[in-house]
Amino acid sequence: MSEEIIWASATEIAKRIASRDISPVEVMAATLKQAHLVQENCNAFITIDEEQAMARAREAENETPRGSLHGVPISVKDLCNTRGLRTTFGSQAFKDNIPTADCVAVARLKAAGAIVFAKTTTPEFGHKPLTEAPIFGRTLNPWDRTRTTGGSSGGSGAAVAAGAGSLAVGTDGGGSTRIPAAACGVVGMKQSLGVVPHDQTPDVFGLLAYVGPMARTVADAGLMLEAMAGPDSSDPHSLGRDLQGIQKAASQPLDLRGVKIGWRTHLGNSLVDRETLSAFEASLKTLEDLGATLIERDDPFENTLSVWGPLTFSIWACRFAQIEEKIGEEMSDTLRYWMNEGRNYGAVDVQRAMETRTLLYRQIQSWFSEIDFLVTPTLACPALPADQSPFDPVMINNNEAGGLRDGWYPYTHPFNLSGHPAITLPNGFTRDGLPTGGIQFVGPWLSDTRLLELSAAYEGAAGISIRRPSFS
């Protein structure tokens, strides 16, 4: 029964709990057992809250179902505030921090009946796509523990992929949900700007970061997103954002006959891994077989690191300066390095990046006057070595492909800058048993429900064999 529970979808678990075919206590006990196994092998959690999680499961067992996620275990990235549960941001400065309130997204998941059982690992303040930090060490990929999970939601990606809960909250400031989802072979979504309120950012008007779902299926991602979505006064981008039918869309495959899908193998990068490219081409064939009209988009596109970098690094330089003064060398050296980069940008550099961000939005949005969706790889190659240095070049096909951000995941941060919805799905495994790097679907602004319908159609037709990582 334990094995059956940990690999069941959240949608199935919620239905079985509601029908009293299974109890929240059974589900939580199995989840916690697997979480400890995953922690031992992958180091995916900063905190496992066994006592409170089991207590809440016992309460849920005797309650009328609260909502769509009643009794379903969920883990939360340790950048998101959780009331009464330690939230460290991966930093020694907050190692004993106990928030007095949940962030909006977590509060809504709890209101829908979900039970938070753990906080997942993140690099300090989510500052890099490799999940490691001074407070907990390094998180390893469950498919190959010599490889990284990616980041910065690496703990969430590892947990979901390895059966420690079917749902996890991630955040995405440049790809931080989609990168680990692709590296670990699960689903990760960055919704349109404002669909899920972000009440923790100090600069909501310059927002690049999103709180979003990570799951093993598109239906589960939609189930989770519907619970988190909707307007909140803390985030002006969310006002008026009241999308309907998110959960239904995620289990309702789109009829692709006549749908125009633009595709790109490159997005400001030069190299793609051979197996990643082969998997992507097979995915295009699947879409074509479903009736989609495929249109190659080969118009010029510049790598967006030159826009994302000045905006992001200057934000870090401002936001974390006092923390750096307080803890000094206890702060990650990589974060301190990029904060210093941020200090070196002038006001004109930052303003120029802001203006270029607007031009980028207009460029991407213009594509959707000719196509309905865009599809790209999510990563340029599968998961990198676990000890990859952020300052060393990424090697693809035995050649230097550029740096970590511009060479490995050039496909993700353009859409943080532009605000368009983007979702990554698994699309196979390499000969060595690693997820190939994922396929990313992108839609026009506020096309989130239709994007989920497209994803459901692809997922149903792709025939990706379901594998489960094992630990000896």
CATH number at residue 381: 3.90.1300.10
d(CA 221, CA 125): 24
Q: Is 77 part of the annotated catalytic residue set?
A: yes
- Residue 242: φ, ψ to 5°: -130, 70
User: What local confidence, expressed as pLDDT, does residue 96 receive?
Assistant: 97
Among candidate residues 68, 77, 91, 455, the one labeled active-site is: 77
Tell me which residue of 393, 396, 392, 391 sits closest to 380, measured CA to CA. Answer: 396
Q: Which helix (H) or strand (E) holds 457?
A: helix 448-462
Residue ranges with strand state E in 191-292? 210-215, 260-263
Q: Are 160 and 168 in contact (CB under 8 A)?
A: yes
User: What local confidence, expressed as pLDDT, does residue 463 receive?
Assistant: 83
d(CA 233, CA 249): 26
3-state helix, strand, coil in the chain (%, to 5): 40, 15, 45
3-state SS class at 285: helix
Among candidate residues 68, 75, 91, 152, the one labeled active-site is: 152
d(CA 364, CA 50): 45
Cβ atoms within 10 Å of 368's Cβ, excluding its own: 18
Average pLDDT of the chain?
A: 97
Q: What is the mean pLDDT of residues 42-46?
A: 98
d(CA 189, CA 183): 14
In a domain, 162, yes or no: yes
Read out DSSP for 128-172? SSS-EETTTEE-EETTEEEEE--SSSHHHHHHHHTTS-SEEEEEE
Residue indicated by tokens 């039970």: 115
Sign of CA dihedral 400, 404, 407, 408: positive
In a domain, 163, yes or no: yes
56-85 tens-digit pLDDT: 999 999 999 989 999 999 999 999 999 999
245-298 tens-digit pLDDT: 999 999 999 999 999 999 999 999 999 999 999 999 999 999 999 999 999 999
User: What local confidence, expressed as pLDDT, does residue 1 receive?
Assistant: 62
Structure tokens of 4?
A: 């059956």
Q: Are 44 and 138 in contact (CB under 8 A)?
A: no
Tell me which residue of 221, 237, 161 sits closest to 422, measured CA to CA. Answer: 221
In a domain, 21, yes or no: yes
Q: What is the mean pLDDT of residues 228-243?
A: 97
Q: Is 176 part of the annotated catalytic residue set?
A: yes
- Whether pLDDT at 2 is above 90: no
What's the structural domain count of the chain? 1
User: What local confidence, expressed as pLDDT, does residue 184 receive?
Assistant: 98
If 0-12 CB within 10 Å is exposed, 13-18 middle and 19+ buried, where does residue 355 land?
Answer: exposed
In a domain, 467, yes or no: no
- What is the bridge-based pairing of β-strands 260-263 and 373-377? parallel
- Residue 179: what residue type? I
Among candidate residues 91, 156, 176, 455, the one labeled active-site is: 176
If 0-12 CB within 10 Å is exposed, 13-18 middle and 19+ buried, where does residue 14 land?
Answer: buried
Q: First and final CA of the chain: distance in angstroms?
A: 20
- Whether pLDDT at 150 is above 90: yes
Q: Is 238 part of the annotated catalytic residue set?
A: no
Q: Are 425 and 218 in contact (CB under 8 A)?
A: yes
Q: What is the mean pLDDT of residues 190-200?
A: 98
In a domain, 470, yes or no: no
d(CA 255, CA 113): 33
Q: Are 17 and 27 in contact (CB under 8 A)?
A: yes
Q: How far is CA 100 from CA 84, 89, 96, 353, 447, in A?
A: 6, 15, 13, 36, 35
In a domain, 404, yes or no: yes
In a domain, 472, yes or no: no
Q: Which helix (H) or strand (E) holds 51?
A: helix 50-61
In a domain, 167, yes or no: yes
Q: Which helix (H) or strand (E) holds 295?
A: strand 293-296
The residues that bridge with 167 in the sheet, in sequence order, are 215
Identify the domain containing residue 293 by its residue range. Answer: 2-462
d(CA 35, CA 147): 19
pTM more than 0.75 = yes
